[in-house]
A = this chain, B = another copy of it.
Amino acid sequence: MKQSELFTKTRREAPKDEVSKNAELLIRAGYIHKEMAGAYDFLPLGLRVLNKIVGIIREEMNVLGGQEVYMTALQDRTSWEATDRWDEKKVDIWFKTKLQNETELGLAFTHEEPLTSLMKDHVRSYKDLPSSIYQFQNKFRNETRAKSGILRGREFLMKDMYSFNVDEETHNDFYEKAKIAYKIIYDRLGIGGDTIITFSSGGTFSKYSHEFQTLCEAGEDIVYVDMEKKLAVNREVLNDEVLNDLGLKKENLKECKAIEVGNIFSLGTKFSSALGLNFKDKTGISKPVIMGCYGIGPTRVMGTIAEIWSDDKGLVWPESVAPFSIHLVALFGADGKVEKVASELYRHLSSKGIEVLYDDRQCSAGEKFSDADLIGIPWRYVVSSKTLEADAVEVKDRKTGNVSMKKIQSL
């Protein structure tokens, strides 16, 4: 894409009410726009990053055998009353609204209830199981405090997967596979090294659930990490019994701030029993389906990457999620030669399927370089009269700052 055609502009200052580093950087670089606290628009650069994050997660959900759906945000009360989660005294993050006839509706903050109800149309017998179903869908949560940029949205994109199994054994097997898939996802997203699997309380049906916590000063969570074992517990389960269970020692744990970038949870029969999602087993006996849920917020992940992969000059995207692979910066001279070579190079690289942002703007080298640093594309290729003397481009690695020359004919 030609940068002269990109409608967004970089800016020196983020809005004054923006206190989070991720949103400040992403706004300044033109990735997002703040609609209000906890609600952000994704602009072309931002949507490209978000789509890459979504693409990686989708691939891994498909490897797990997940089938993708897309559910409504609008909810009526029926299924939520069955699980006692409609009342705002029980669930304090509902956004509620009303039909013209005064019927109260909710905006889904999660989808266990409607999906469990939906599955009643499709599950009769053990032959219809197992199954795992996921979506990328905007959730609404009426957060009192939404000051962490896209780390905590009142409206935010969520990948939520739900699994349906006939018994604990097959459920546990799927749960372990999901754990591995999550690890692969964070590795691919470039935050695997900082993301620690964290034991959390499990509710009625299993002793533990698991969070994936990325160590980061901007995090709103506190976790206790054994850095050597790459294992953590959260505050809820920081007690002798659990530490003993997990083979952890209190003196080896470090208290860290962290961002919860995912969580997985065994739901047992909580929802299937409440909503009547049963199947007939091989002997014809009716049993409630065993469920699990598996969440990752792609927008939160994007904010986490922005927190972790940035420096005082701007963003430093991992290649897997960068909006473009190469930022081609042309420093136009008087004779038009740079423009000619840069345009050819832009077409050449694009034709090879390489995603290039081509800075063809009429502005100073200084402005181009500081924008390139702020936008944070992994590789900056500079074409100037000087580099053309050596038939080369100057290649800069955004992450290390290393600079080298590359012959144009080798590209």
A contact set with B: CB distance below 8 Å: 5-9, 11, 30, 33, 35-36, 39-44, 47, 50, 65, 67-76, 92, 95-101, 105, 107, 114, 118-119, 121-124, 128, 131, 133, 138, 140, 142, 144, 154-155
Of B43, B105, B155, the residue contacting A69 (CB under 8 A) is: B43
| Closest chain B residue to A40, Cβ basis | B72
Contacts of A95 in B (CB 8 A): 97-98, 105
Contacts of A69 in B (CB 8 A): 41-44, 47
A129 and B97 CA atoms in complex are apart in Å by: 39
Q: Are B9 and A122 in contact (CB under 8 A)?
A: yes
Pick the most buried of A36, A92, A154: most chain B CB atoms within 10 A of its CB: A36
Of B11, B42, B124, B128, the residue contacting A121 (CB under 8 A) is: B11
A273 to chain B, nearest CB (A): 20
A94 and B131 CA atoms in complex are apart in Å by: 37
Query: Beyond A35-B75, A68-B47, A138-B73, is A7–B97 a contact (Cβ under 8 Å)?
Result: no
A131 and B67 CA atoms in complex are apart in Å by: 37
Query: Beyond A118-B33, A122-B8, is A39–B70 a contact (Cβ under 8 Å)?
Result: no
A92 and B100 CA atoms in complex are apart in Å by: 9
Q: Are A41 and B70 in contact (CB under 8 A)?
A: yes
Q: Are A97 and B100 in contact (CB under 8 A)?
A: no
A363 to chain B, nearest CB (A): 11
Q: Are B73 and A44 in contact (CB under 8 A)?
A: no
A289 and B95 CA atoms in complex are apart in Å by: 35
Contacts of A131 in B (CB 8 A): 7
A83 to chain B, nearest CB (A): 16
| Closest chain B residue to A106, Cβ basis | B97
15 new A-B contacts, CB < 8 A, other than A7-B119, A41-B70, A101-B144, are: A7-B128, A9-B121, A9-B128, A35-B71, A40-B72, A41-B71, A44-B68, A44-B69, A47-B69, A73-B138, A95-B105, A96-B97, A97-B107, A99-B142, A100-B142
Q: Which 7 A-B pairs have the closest CB atoms?
A: A39-B72, A42-B70, A7-B131, A41-B71, A39-B74, A95-B97, A97-B97
A336 and B110 CA atoms in complex are apart in Å by: 45
Q: Are B155 and A74 in contact (CB under 8 A)?
A: yes
Pick the most buried of A40, A107, A124: most chain B CB atoms within 10 A of its CB: A107
Query: Beyond A7-B67, A67-B7, A95-B97, is A72–B142 a contact (Cβ under 8 Å)?
Result: no
Q: Are A122 and B7 in contact (CB under 8 A)?
A: yes
Contacts of A35 in B (CB 8 A): 71-72, 74-76, 114
A6 and B65 CA atoms in complex are apart in Å by: 10
8 contacts between A and B (CB under 8 A): A5-B65, A6-B67, A9-B121, A33-B118, A36-B74, A40-B72, A74-B154, A100-B144
| Closest chain B residue to A67, Cβ basis | B44
A69 and B48 CA atoms in complex are apart in Å by: 9
Of B50, B65, B96, the residue contacting A70 (CB under 8 A) is: B50
Q: Are B70 and A47 in contact (CB under 8 A)?
A: yes
Contacts of A47 in B (CB 8 A): 68-70
A122 and B43 CA atoms in complex are apart in Å by: 11
Contacts of A72 in B (CB 8 A): 35, 39-41, 155
Contacts of A5 in B (CB 8 A): 65, 67
| Closest chain B residue to A27, Cβ basis | B121
| Closest chain B residue to A70, Cβ basis | B42
Q: Are A121 and B33 in contact (CB under 8 A)?
A: yes
Contacts of A119 in B (CB 8 A): 7
Query: Beyond A35-B72, A121-B33, is A7–B133 a contact (Cβ under 8 Å)?
Result: yes
Contacts of A41 in B (CB 8 A): 69-72, 114, 118
A122 and B96 CA atoms in complex are apart in Å by: 34
Contacts of A133 in B (CB 8 A): 7
Contacts of A33 in B (CB 8 A): 118, 121
